[in-house]
Amino acid sequence: MRVLKSRSVKPRPISKLLMKVGSSRCYVSSCRAVLLPRFGGPEVLELRSDVPVPDLKPNEVLVRARAVSINPLDTRMRSGYGRSIFEPLLPLILGRDVSGEVAAIAASVKSLKVGQEVFGALHPTAVRGTYADYAILSEDELSPKPASVTHVEASAIPFAALTAWRALKSTARIAEGQRLLVIGGGGAVGFAAIQLAVAVGCHVSTTCGNRSINRVMAAGAEQAIDYTAEDIEAVIKGKFDAVLDTIGVAETERIGINLLNRGGHYMTLQGEAAALSDRYGLPIGLPVATALLLKKRIQYLYSYGIEYSWTYMRADSEGLHEIRRLTEAGKLNIPVEKTFSISQVREAHEAKDKKTILVFLACLLYTRMLHIMWEFCRCKHSVSCRNL
């Protein structure tokens, strides 16, 4: 297979690695696709040339894929995240985002026509993903592609931006003049959230890595705190109406909760339903997750007066059209780090895994440093106590 191109795209690398895909046929019964036959490392991914393309259901659209992006969900699913749901359904096709052209439409599809350029994203639990020459999405998961961006740029946007949209618009219902804190503004979802909130007229603060600071400030954030070097609570001024926590570990949850006004919304992307179901099986894991969520909701409501939510990506045609409008107006973009050919899918996953580990290590190192500093202060404190 020919490598189409490998490039670094403006303005600085972040989260998105993309594969350019495509075929010259317009109607197909089988096509190339990347299969996940079992869970594991990047080596388990298999590019096959004769994967059947199922018949379309009445509301579905066949999209000839020109580019698909690699989200953290893809690498996590490949490693076994969600196995309680997906294991009986193997082999899967990974991939949520796609940008391409409409190759065929089913009977009840009214808003799109064959040949039209579109972009969109599948629901997190879709089994036939987009790592294929031909992807199938429902009509409400697609929108005309913004003309101002390439397929590569377009395919980086929908899944991340729709996740941010759901949290900010459906859950927190952000409004002009409100204050929003985005924990993890350097990532795709966080960066989309900053741009969506700025477009609404919110005042946005964010935490991100050093290399992301210029980018998030240029996107309209009013304050950017380097989580690898600064004490977030010491640096941030005032309280917030909403916190979107894309990292969702205990420390960021504690910080987010403490920085909220009464009546504010704390939203984490790291809901525990899938992890608990993977650990205990669906019949036990799901009720345990529901009980845990309920407990936290009650606890935070009564102790802090705030709304606590696990938030998930959902297809939302109104959201996708607004995302398209903002992209076209130059107000929303997700930088692309590197582009791979579909035949390089293993390398693409390796690169995404490596980046995740690096960020994790940087974060761990900083947390460890804070811990050592805390121990040091405690030590000094106890010495002075003894001296008294």
Ligand X SMILES: NC(=O)c1ccc[n+]([C@@H]2O[C@H](COP(=O)([O-])OP(=O)(O)OC[C@H]3O[C@@H](n4cnc5c(N)ncnc54)[C@H](OP(=O)(O)O)[C@@H]3O)[C@@H](O)[C@H]2O)c1
Q: In whole angstroms, how close is the CB of 42 to ligand X at the nearest point?
A: 16
Taking CB under 6 A as the criterion, which residues in 188-207 touch ligand X?
188-190, 207
Q: Which of 138, 246, 309, 339 binds ligand X (CB under 6 A)?
A: 246
Q: How many residues does the chain have?
A: 388
Angle at 177 between CA 175 and CA 183, to 5 degrees: 80
Q: Which of 183, 255, 306, 345 binds ligand X (CB under 6 A)?
A: 183
Q: Which stretch binds ligand X (CB under 6 A): 46-54, 68-76, 108-116, 343-351?
A: 68-76
Taking CB under 6 A as the criterion, which residues in 326-365 touch ligand X?
359, 363
Q: In whole angstroms, how close is the CB of 161 to ligand X at the nearest point?
A: 10
Question: Which of 51/189 has CB closer to ligand X?
Answer: 189
Q: In whole angstroms, how close is the CB of 213 to ligand X at the nearest point?
A: 8
| Site map (CB under 6 A) of ligand X, residues 3-22, x = contact | -----------xx-------
Q: CA 338, CA 10: separation in Å to the nearest integer? A: 10
Beginning with the edge strand found earlier in the chain, give each strand of the sheet holding 260-268 in spatial order. 223-226, 203-208, 179-183, 240-245, 260-268, 307-310
Indicate the pairing of strand 30-36 with strand 46-52.
antiparallel
DSSP-derived letter for residue 176 is T
Per the DSSP assignment, residues forming a β-bridge with 36 are 92
Question: Which of 184/285 has CB closer to ligand X?
Answer: 184
Q: In whole angstroms, how close is the CB of 56 to ligand X at the nearest point?
A: 26
Question: Which of 120/186 has CB closer to ligand X?
Answer: 186
Q: In whole angstroms, how close is the CB of 185 to ligand X at the nearest point?
A: 7
Binding residues for ligand X, how many (CB under 6 A)?
29
Q: CA 342, CA 246: separation in Å to the nearest integer? A: 28
Q: Which of 18, 34, 68, 73 binds ligand X (CB under 6 A)?
A: 73
Contact call for residue 247 and ligand X (CB under 6 A)? yes
Indicate the pairing of strand 203-208 with strand 179-183.
parallel
Residue 275 burial (10 A CB sphere; 0-12, 13-18, 19+): middle
Q: Which of 20, 66, 71, 276 binds ligand X (CB under 6 A)?
A: 71
Number of CB atoms found within 10 A of residue 85's CB = 17
Taking CB under 6 A as the criterion, which residues in 288-327 touch ligand X?
312-313
Task: For residue 124, say if its preceding peptide bond is cis, omega within 30 degrees of 0.
Answer: no
| Site map (CB under 6 A) of ligand X, residues 226-245, x = contact | -x------------------
Phi, psi of 3 (to 5 degrees): -80, 120
Query: CB–CB of 156/334 below 8 Å?
Result: yes
Chain residues binding ligand X by CB under 6 A are: 14-15, 71-73, 76, 124, 160, 163, 183-184, 186-190, 207-209, 212, 227, 246-247, 269, 271, 312-313, 359, 363
